[in-house]
Amino acid sequence: MVTAVAQRLASQRKEIDDTLATFTLSTTQLQEVKAKMRVELERGLKKDTHPTASVKMLPTYVYRTPDGTERGKYLALDLGGTNFRVLVVKIRTGMRNSVRMYNKIYAIPLEIMQGTGEELFDHIVQCISDFLDYMGMKNTRLPLGFTFSFPCNQTGIDKGDLVSWTKGFKATDCEGYDVVDMLREAIKRRNEFDLDIVAIVNDTVGTMMTCAYEDPKCQIGLIAGTGSNVCYMEEMKNIELVEGDEGQMCVNTEWGGFGENDNIEDIRTRYDREVDGGSLNPGKQRFEKMTSGMYLGEIVRQILIDLTKRGLLFRGRITERLKTKGIFETKFLSQIESDRLALLQVRSILQSLGLDSTCDDSIIVKEVCGAVSRRAAQLCGAGMAAIVDKIRENRGLDHLEITVGVDGTLYKLHPHFSTILKDTVRELAPNCKVDFILSEDGSGKGAALITAVIDKYLYAMRFSDETLRDIMARFRREMENGLGGDTNPTATVKMLPTFVRSIPDGSEKGDFIALDLGGSNFRILRVKVSHEKKQTVQMESQIYETPEDIIHGSGSRLFDHVAECLGDFMEKQKIKDKKLPVGFTFSFPCAHSKLDEAVLLTWTKRFKASGVEGMDVVKLLNKAIKKRGDYDADIMAVVNDTVGTMMTCGFDDQRCEVGIIIGTGTNACYMEELRHIDMVEGDEGRMCINTEWGAFGDDGTLEDIRTEFDREIDRGSLNPGKQLFEKMVSGMYMGELVRLILVKMAKEGLLFEGRITPELLTKGKFETKHVSAIEKSKEGLTKAKEILTRLGVEPSEDDCIAVQHVCAIVSFRSANLIAATLGAILTRLKDNKNSPRLRTTVGIDGSLYKMHPQYSRRLHKTVRRLVPESDVRFLLSESGSGKGAAMVTAWASRES
């Protein structure tokens, strides 16, 4: 008896397993899918095979960034996903300019989705009408952008014939007709208002665009929602349907149609065929029907019906509910598959769907859902692998790094879909590193539109990797000019020898004083390095004020102030009677002929004290100390803050051979082979070079990438025409850059309803720390509101989003530019070492790098992309440059 039951259970189990096994795809099968997809992509692109291709590869006439965001009033429609939305960007011009955005969701009843084309477009226009009424904008002719998530044969950005309906739409008399014309006619029929339709965009393209601003590597858009589709940037020369060979164009693949030529029949199951047969478009969109939210639940339902018929489920009873099409929406699948749900909860979900189930039933239903969604994610992954490999080959690369912008309820809501998708891509396209970023719902379409407006504005601040590589090459030339004996006198990047010849080796010890002047704080430190047991460092420090009248006054007053602070510090430390060795971190460009001789070449950043340029700062400080006569000091070494930072980090990691500062100012030093340094005698060993890269561009080399805002910053600075690179990237200028952009945008009515307050017009009112606060992912928008409110502009939510975008673009540019110059140093180091791969550590300090929430990640990522043949460790200097200065002083005092 017992064995009979056990046998029956075992055989039932086997039947279920066999059924689900038809959904399991081996790696070989997935590789085949990838290969077949690749063939179809090529067929879609070629003129002679295009007419019969299952993957249509439709040209979109989007060459780079969003277009059609004219000033005035801008309207957007978003049709074809789960929701139909109408949005407006209202830009008023006149005395008081303003911009506002609104977004409203409208229902499209089933009978309209599947009625006549006229009814559908009349309904759309009615929704627009309702919206315009609500906005009081009926009497203006608005430019409109239309996200239309169906395949269209486009012949221009504003012309697209609907190829065929997909998903849940099936309105008559639309296929083969221009969607823009149909909308225009419906507007005419209504005869209430006029609109200017400027662009028709597939949802994949809209998504790619929205995400591309976050990450310039985003060149693919993926929708895994009601439907499934991908677009990507293709080389013009491969798109045979469009004239011209130069540059790129986005192609809407319409991969949902994959399989229409029977080439994936081997992996389709009887359930897929049943779903297809019962759909609005039998035989069509076969890949979509295996992968997207609209159909997965249907596949599950077909399996459940079959299992029930076979007596394996629901006690063999097929209820009316189970026969009801569409009961399993994506959200239910996602809930059922959530790992956090106990079986009991799964059961109650099934019950809420009207499916009376036992606990065993719940287990089986969950397995069915898992098998179906897993296959969907794997198939999408295989398709994506084909796309990224194609892009990689297009560019003749061994390795490609690329980002996919994604939207869609399946991807967003399902607990495992995205992970399986990513794993599959990784497995099937091992030569591509593919990142996925979500098109954030929080800012949604509104943000995309604002982005479009801003993009037009700040287009010049976003660089492709190609441009960054070009900047990297320019900086390498500058470095060579600075190092060469003949070229150094006229070089802009000075490449100053520092007379520091190695990084700490652990033998340093003693009791030192360090001064740290030139960053955001003036600090005096006592650094004790001892050798009991392990080498240990003890530090005590104090921050002193450096008031503006002192740093802008006479040089003697400045050094008197430094000497006074030093006296105070020694007094507090009770060491006024001692003559401790002093290391001086002086964060300005100095010409050295030895460690303790440093002639200031020029002030940078906030400093501008008279009578110091051209003088040896050691002498000036000694003079000031002598004049006081109340203590003695022995200044043994002057180091730049980059050098101090490299030494501080070198103390912890012997591999450190680069130091960079991204703070008030920006600069880098690195260890160069002595034989390449023409200005210093000797050929053996290495010496640290202070590049003073802030001056990059002072001879006009960066004019092509400087913007009007950069020029304005320069004009208003203490040193016009100087430190042009520094002014584009460092903390002292970043807030100001954002402020200038905001002022301009407000003036043009793009922000704050055109309100410009005295605070907004005041220099320095927007600081770099504000940029950091606003870019925080969680509380960023709240911070933006606070900060902008303090500037008196009464920001709307959309203003806050826009300002966040501006901050991101400006800070992203900074990280990208620094990645390029740092990349140049790294490739130089690699060449010096004559090795195929560089393994090194970069010591970093500076408030911008430390405080900004995204900066370091962006910098690291871009560096790795620009210098792929390197393994770089970025080491944050935890204790400032004082410790490093003490190390240098330790050697100096040993040698003297």
Binding site for ligand BG6 (CB under 6 A): 78, 80-82, 147, 149, 203, 206, 223, 225-226, 293, 407-409, 445, 516, 518-521, 585, 587, 641, 644, 661, 663-664, 731, 845-847, 880-882
Between 659 and 749, CB nearer to ligand GLC: 659
For tokens 């794993």, name the residue: 423
User: Side chain identity at 60, as an amino acid letter?
Assistant: T
Minimum separation from the CB atom of position 667 to ligand GLC (A) = 3
Residue 446 interacts with which of ligand GLC, ligand BG6, none, CB < 5 to 8 Å by class: none
Joined together, the tokens standing for residue 48 give 């002679």
Contact of 689 with 591, CB cutoff 8 Å = no
Q: How many CB atoms lie within 10 A of CB 396?
A: 6
Minimum separation from the CB atom of position 203 to ligand BG6 (A) = 3
Joined together, the tokens standing for residue 451 give 């982005």
Query: Is 81 a residue that touches ligand GLC (CB under 6 A)?
Result: yes
Judged by CB under 6 A, the residue of 19, 202, 717, 840 near ligand GLC is 202
Question: Measured between alpha carbons, how far is 739 from 742 in angstroms, rounded to an integer?
Answer: 5
Question: Measured between alpha carbons, how far is 690 from 660 in angstroms, rounded to an integer?
Answer: 10
Judged by CB under 6 A, the residue of 726, 753, 798, 799 near ligand GLC is 726
3-class secondary structure per residue, 677-707: CCCCCCCCCEEEEECCHHHCCCCCCCHHHCC
Query: Within 514-553, which residues bind ligand GLC (CB under 6 A)?
Result: 518-519
- 3-class SS of residue 179: helix
Annotation says 587 is catalytic: yes
User: Side chain identity at 798, as an amino acid letter?
Assistant: D
Pinpoint the alpha helices (H) of 723-877: 724-729, 731-747, 768-774, 780-790, 797-833, 847-851, 855-866
- 3-class SS of residue 7: helix
Query: Within 741-760, which residues bind ligand GLC (CB under 6 A)?
Result: none
Backbone phi and psi for residue 482, each to the nearest 5 degrees, phi listed first: -65, -30
First to last CA, the chain: 99
Residue 145 interacts with which of ligand BG6, ligand GLC, none, CB < 5 to 8 Å by class: none
Annotation says 348 is catalytic: no
Query: Is 774 a residue that touches ligand GLC (CB under 6 A)?
Result: no
Residue 880 interacts with which of ligand GLC, ligand BG6, none, CB < 5 to 8 Å by class: ligand BG6
Cβ-Cβ contacts under 8 Å for 761 (sequence gap 6 or more): 743
Minimum separation from the CB atom of position 250 to ligand BG6 (A) = 15
Contact of 459 with 65, CB cutoff 8 Å = yes
Minimum separation from the CB atom of position 185 to ligand BG6 (A) = 23
Residue 814 interacts with which of ligand BG6, ligand GLC, none, CB < 5 to 8 Å by class: none
Query: Is 587 a residue that touches ligand GLC (CB under 6 A)?
Result: yes
Residue 137 CA neighbour count, 13 Å, CB half: 25
Minimum separation from the CB atom of position 191 to ligand GLC (A) = 31
Query: Within 224-253, which residues bind ligand GLC (CB under 6 A)?
Result: 225-229
Minimum separation from the CB atom of position 661 to ligand GLC (A) = 4
Query: Which candidate, 692, 598, 708, 711, places its Cα nearest to that of 642?
Result: 692
Residue 497 interacts with which of ligand GLC, ligand BG6, none, CB < 5 to 8 Å by class: none
Active-site position among 272, 361, 641, 698? 641
Query: Within 285-314, which residues bind ligand GLC (CB under 6 A)?
Result: 288
Minimum separation from the CB atom of position 345 to ligand GLC (A) = 30
Question: Measured between alpha carbons, how far is 724 from 690 in angstroms, rounded to an integer?
Answer: 17
CA angle in degrees (0–180, nearest 5) for 314-315-320 = 55
Question: Measured between alpha carbons, how far is 752 from 760 in angstroms, rounded to an integer?
Answer: 11
Mark the segment that binds ligand GLC (CB under 6 A) among 219-227, 378-386, 763-771, 863-871: 219-227
Question: Measured between alpha carbons, how far is 738 from 98 in angstroms, rounded to an integer?
Answer: 19
Query: Within 311-330, which residues bind ligand GLC (CB under 6 A)?
Result: none
Query: Is 665 a residue that touches ligand GLC (CB under 6 A)?
Result: yes
Mark the segment that binds ligand GLC (CB under 6 A) among 218-226, 571-579, 649-657, 836-844: 218-226
For tokens 């965001």, name the residue: 69
Query: Is 698 a residue that touches ligand GLC (CB under 6 A)?
Result: no
- 3-class SS of residue 406: strand
Query: Is 642 a residue that touches ligand GLC (CB under 6 A)?
Result: yes
Between 226 and 451, CB nearer to ligand BG6: 226
Question: Element (H or E) spanning 38, and its range?
Answer: helix 27-45
**Torsion sign, CA atoms 270, 274, 277, 283:** negative
Express the helix, strand and coil content of the chain in percent, nearest 5 each: 45, 20, 35
Minimum separation from the CB atom of position 360 to ligand BG6 (A) = 32
1 exposure class (CB count in 10 Å sphere: 0-12, 13-18, 19+): exposed
Between 275 and 454, CB nearer to ligand GLC: 275
Judged by CB under 6 A, the residue of 640, 648, 768, 879 near ligand GLC is 640
Judged by CB under 6 A, the residue of 169, 287, 295, 588 near ligand GLC is 588
Joined together, the tokens standing for residue 687 give 């010496």
Contact of 867 with 826, CB cutoff 8 Å = yes
Between 589 and 882, CB nearer to ligand GLC: 589
Between 390 and 592, CB nearer to ligand BG6: 592
Mark the segment that binds ligand GLC (CB under 6 A) among 23-31, 264-272, 584-592, 855-863: 584-592
Residue 692 interacts with which of ligand BG6, ligand GLC, none, CB < 5 to 8 Å by class: ligand GLC
Contact of 256 with 227, CB cutoff 8 Å = yes
Pattern 25-64, ligand GLC, x by CB under 6 A: ----------------------------------------
Residue 82 interacts with which of ligand BG6, ligand GLC, none, CB < 5 to 8 Å by class: ligand BG6
Biggest distance spanned by C-alpha atoms of the chain:
109
Residue 433 interacts with which of ligand BG6, ligand GLC, none, CB < 5 to 8 Å by class: none
Residue 308 interacts with which of ligand GLC, ligand BG6, none, CB < 5 to 8 Å by class: none
Active-site position among 279, 373, 418, 587? 587
Annotation says 310 is catalytic: no
Pinpoint the alpha helices (H) of 293-416: 293-309, 330-337, 343-352, 359-394, 409-413
Query: Is 80 a residue that touches ligand GLC (CB under 6 A)?
Result: yes
Active-site position among 523, 706, 739, 813? 523
The residues with which 573 forms a beta bridge, in sequence order, are none
For tokens 């070198």, name the residue: 650
Minimum separation from the CB atom of position 601 to ligand GLC (A) = 9
Q: Could you list the active site residues?
A: 523, 587, 641
Residues near ligand GLC (CB under 6 A) are: 80-81, 149-151, 166-167, 202-204, 223, 225-229, 254, 256, 288, 518-519, 587-589, 604-605, 640-642, 661, 663-667, 692, 694, 726
